[in-house]
Chains A and B, each alone.
Chain A
Amino acid sequence: DIQMTQSPSSLSASVGDRVTITCRASQDIRNDLGWYQQKPGKAPKRLIYAASSLQSGVPSRFSGSGSRTEFTLTISSLQPEDFATYYCLQHNSYPRTFGQGTKVEIK
């Protein structure tokens, strides 16, 4: 099984800050990785697919990069509505595996 190690598990940041979240895969997953944002009581929302493709309608301050085993989600200038939990997901093989999540909180 492919393990996804996501870091950090939480972070405190201010509005306007640049935020970076990382996911490491235990083996090569090509670019078969996506990023989700989840707010309390809501379903996950896809932000990034195929490692670096921005979902239509998602603000351009969100970006994804990486391939094979190292992936990054960057929020270039954190906005109040971005405080949420973020997850990566590998869909290269079964079982599908999520990262543990990163909770982004207000400093």
Chain B
Amino acid sequence: EVQLVESGGGLVKPGESLRLSCAASGFTFSNYNMNWVRQAPGKGLEWVSSIDGTSSYIYYADSVKGRFTISRDNAKNSLYLQMNSLRAEDTAVYYCAREVAITMVRGVTPDYWGQGTLVTVSS
């Protein structure tokens, strides 16, 4: 059974850092692109970042570029999101989701998602 389990969320102050993790099981992790998607309270879905199976191709939303870093450890079946210089507008539930790659930029609609982890940035 495919499972994605996020962890690492919590309450932090503006300017602080946090590292999210996503533990994958039930599939060959290295064969999939992985995504982080977030949802601010009461708002829609926002794509944050993607990484391919070999960590060769990495993409970020403009809203997090230079502050967030996506990475993965295929030996540990884990995806990470290092979030630095956090702002109030980063407050959201963060989901990881897997995606089959078609080309370097095209993929298949992400199928499995984790349950999400809440990040709250507030003084």
Q: Please state if A34 and B47 are interface contacts (CB–CB under 8 Å).
A: no
B residues near A, CB below 8 A?
A: 35, 44-47, 50, 59-62, 95, 99, 102, 105-111, 113-116
User: Which of A12-20, A76-84, A93-101 is near enough to bind chain B?
Assistant: A93-101
User: Does A89 touch B at the CB level, under 8 Å?
Assistant: yes
- Which chain B residue has the least Cβ–Cβ distance from A99? B44
Q: Known A-B contacts: A46-B111, A91-B109. Give 18 more (CB < 8 A).
A: A32-B106, A32-B107, A43-B115, A45-B113, A49-B108, A50-B109, A89-B47, A89-B110, A94-B59, A94-B105, A95-B59, A96-B35, A96-B50, A98-B44, A98-B45, A99-B44, A100-B44, A101-B44
With a 10 A CB-CB cut-off, give which of B35, B47, B102, B114 has the most chain A CB atoms: B47
Residues of A within 8 A of B45 (CB): 36, 38, 44, 87, 89, 98, 101
Q: How far is the CA of A99 from the CA of B109 in the complex (A)?
A: 14
